Amino acid sequence: MTQLVARGHEYLDALALETFFARQGDRWSPAEHIRHLRKATAPVARALRIPAWLLRIRFGRGAGTSRDFRTLWETYRGALARGGQAGRFAPSLEPAPADPAGRRAAIMGAWDSAVRALDAASTRWSEPALDRTALPHPLLGPLTVREMLAFTVFHTSHHLALIANRVARRA
């Protein structure tokens, strides 16, 4: 995840501020995508700081095995194709920033903090616990912790690719 976010930074930091904050047609701006990623990553990081036994009481046990990356990705793509949306994880509307450079730095910094917190919290988990503990996902239902971590990686990749593809089309 760290390398993915670093590559995302390289790309996003090089975008003109106007492009970073401009909506992509009727779609989110790059800034809104990153705010969404922060909103989606931070709760996972918080959850992973809670003891596994307490998460199991709250959300149930995982199946003991996790689906592979491809199966999980296809399940997510299917949920999107059926109209799945970000819901409460969508970025709120914001007026144009008075200090675009400062606001971009704040958005990117908040995302970095969420990713660092996720990385730190995930190292506390044993391999077996990753498959024995469930977390809720708003579109996919219960996921094992391992599946949630995999989802976070491809969800991040998915949004960074959307940004790059839409910026390229507008150029």
The pLDDT tens digits of the residues spanning 26-52 come to: 999 999 999 999 999 999 999 999 999
> What pLDDT, on the 0 to 100 scale, is given for residue 62?
85
Q: Could you give phi then psi for residue 136, rounded to 5 degrees?
A: -80, 140
Q: How far apart are alpha carbons 126 and 106 in whole angstroms? A: 33
* DSSP helix/strand/coil, 13: helix
pTM of the model: 0.94
Crossing angle (nearest 10°) for helices 2-14 and 145-170:
20
Residue 63: band (very low, low, confident or very high) from pLDDT cuts 50, 70, 90? confident
CATH number, position 149: 1.20.120.450
Q: Range of 47's domain? A: 2-91+99-170
Spell out the residues 6+ positions from residue 119 whose beta carbon is closer than 8 angstroms to its own.
1, 2
What is the chain's mean pLDDT, rounded?
A: 94
C-alpha triplet 89, 57, 64: angle, nearest 5°? 85
Number of domains in the chain: 1
